[in-house]
């Protein structure tokens, strides 16, 4: 653990701002440190600035202010060294081509000056369920296959860092699960993965850390488990035997909400607290003569947490 915290970040972003030519400010002084071999998920609504940030880190767009280093290489001064460590799967697909799948992926590796490695290309195509399409022309692929081809291209030069800008948009559920597996496998070999997604369950499933961007600002970045623990709340829903008009004063110390015309009581409690307070709440209800017919607990998902963060700050 300590070891991890003293390791230099593989990517360091500092004071990064971007104002487009039309005057629109898409990023506002973003600071971000990405650790080696973590999976970082970036969440944010449409237009938040995710693609802009990725494009700058990958050296495809210039920042207005700020710096980015990749494994110590400044992305502008040392572009080639920095870029050679990165595999990028862009959000927009540009794959209209009469080349075959095999040629496209092999060529991609060559572009980075790496020697041919048919075994590796085969493994990548198999991992992405594209092997039986290897001799097909790219224009003959479906949308989901094209997206997987983009991933194959990005992996062809064995990058240490992989950026996936909405990797699973348009990919069916089963293949999406295969893709998650592949990404986990890559991480085990030491690859650092940064992905953006609109599927919150994808972030919940995959990420070690989660960053939330809105309107060009990094609202928070945190370990997923910590985020869920800190912001996750649990609710206990109590169906009452008889409706009550108001809550007795004896119950004033609990966070309670009476709904459903007095038939339902919702108790919200903190998952971090040492005690949930459920036992004493039930005892106090009993003492106040309120009988409970049924009860159920539920916990907030990452989605609830995300929605509340973005709503509070907009
Ligand atoms: N070339 C450009 N010129 C002007 N404005 C741009 C340009 N590219 C992006 N923007 C604006 O910058 C903001 C951020 O866009 P960006 O593509 O980074 O968002 P995003 O978080 O990736 O959104 P999405 O989830 O829809 O992919 C948007 O308001 C967008 O309209
Ligand atoms: Mg985008």
Question: Which residue range is the domain that position 127 belongs to?
Answer: 2-229
Average pLDDT of the segment spanning 169-189: 87
Average pLDDT of the segment spanning 176-180: 86
- 240 & 169 share domain: no
Q: Does a structural domain hold residue 157?
A: yes
- 114 & 255 share domain: no
Radius of gyration of the chain (CA): 25
Alpha carbon distance 263, 294 (integer Å)? 11
The predicted structure's pLDDT at residue 1: 44
Q: Which of 178, 194, 229 is the last residue of a domain?
A: 229
- 24 & 151 share domain: yes
CATH number for the domain harbouring residue 246: 3.30.70.100
- Residues making up the chain, counted from first to last: 314
Instruction: Summarize pLDDT for 116-137 with one digit per residue, the tens.
Output: 999 999 999 999 999 999 999 9
CATH number for the domain harbouring residue 77: 3.40.50.300
- 137 & 173 share domain: yes
pTM, two decimal places: 0.81
Cβ–Cβ < 8 Å for 97, 104: yes
Query: SS3 for 171?
Result: coil
Cβ of 46 closer than 6 Å to ligand 1, yes or no, is: yes
Count Cβ neighbours within 10 Å for each residue of 28-60 and write b for 16 or more, e otherwise: eebebebbbbbbbbbbbeeebbbbbbbbbbbbe
The predicted structure's pLDDT at residue 4: 47
Instruction: Summarize pLDDT for 7-34 with one digit per residue, the tens.
Output: 789 999 999 999 999 999 999 999 999 9
Cβ of 25 closer than 6 Å to ligand 1, yes or no, is: no
Q: Which of 166, 201, 229 is the last residue of a domain?
A: 229
Closest residue to atom 11 of ligand 1, CA basis: 26
Q: Does a structural domain hold residue 310?
A: no
Instruction: Summarize pLDDT for 66-111 with one digit per residue, the tens.
Output: 999 999 999 999 999 999 999 999 988 776 688 999 999 999 999 9
27 Cα–ligand 1 center, Å: 10
Chain centroid to Cα 256, Å, comes to 33
Q: Does a structural domain hold residue 313?
A: no
- 53 & 111 share domain: yes
Output 302 or 160, whichever has higher pLDDT: 160
Positive or negative, the CA dihedral 193, 69, 105, 147 is positive
pLDDT at 57 over 90: yes
63 Cα–ligand 2 center, Å: 16
Q: Which residues contact 26 (CB under 8 A, 6 or more apart)?
A: 18, 19, 20, 49, 52, 216
Domain count for the chain, please give it.
2
- 145 & 179 share domain: yes
Instruction: Summarize pLDDT for 254-307 with one digit per residue, the tens.
Output: 989 999 999 999 998 876 677 788 889 999 999 999 999 999 988 767 777 777
> Average pLDDT of the chain?
89
Q: Which of 197, 229, 261 is the last residue of a domain?
A: 229
219 Cα–ligand 2 center, Å: 17
């Amino acid at each position: 653990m300590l070891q991890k915290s003293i390791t230099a970040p593989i990517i360091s972003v500092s004071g990064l701002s971007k104002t487009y030519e039309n005057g629109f400010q898409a990023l506002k002084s973003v600071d971000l440190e990405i650790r080696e071999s973590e999976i970082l998920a970036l969440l944010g609504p449409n237009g938040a600035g995710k693609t802009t940030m990725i494009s700058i880190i990958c050296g495809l767009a210039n920042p207005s202010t700020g710096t980015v280093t990749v494994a110590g290489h400044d992305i502008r001064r040392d572009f080639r060294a920095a870029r050679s460590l990165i595999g990028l799967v862009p959000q927009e697909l540009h794959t209209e081509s009469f080349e075959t799948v095999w040629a496209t992926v092999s060529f991609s590796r060559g572009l980075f000056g790496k020697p041919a490695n048919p075994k590796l290309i085969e493994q990548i195509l198999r991992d992405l369920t594209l092997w039986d399409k290897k001799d097909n022309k790219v224009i003959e692929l479906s949308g989901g296959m094209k997206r997987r081809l983009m991933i194959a291209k990005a992996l062809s030069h064995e990058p240490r860092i992989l950026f996936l800008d909405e990797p699973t948009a348009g990919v069916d559920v089963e293949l999406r699960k295969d893709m998650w597996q592949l990404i986990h496998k890559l991480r085990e070999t030491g690859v650092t993965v940064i992905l953006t997604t609109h599927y919150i369950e994808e972030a919940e499933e995959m990420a070690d850390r989660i960053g939330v961007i809105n309107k060009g600002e990094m609202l928070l970045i945190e370990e997923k488990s910590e985020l869920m623990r800190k912001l996750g709340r649990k609710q206990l829903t109590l169906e009452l035997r008889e409706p009550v008009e108001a809550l007795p004063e004896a119950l004033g110390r609990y966070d309670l909400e009476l709904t459903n015309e007095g038939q339902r009581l919702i108790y919200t409690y903190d998952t971090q607290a040492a005690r949930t307070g459920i036992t004493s709440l039930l005892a106090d209800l009993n003492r106040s003569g309120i009988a409970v017919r049924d009860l159920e607990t539920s916990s907030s998902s990452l989605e609830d947490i995300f929605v509340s963060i973005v709503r509070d700050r907009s």
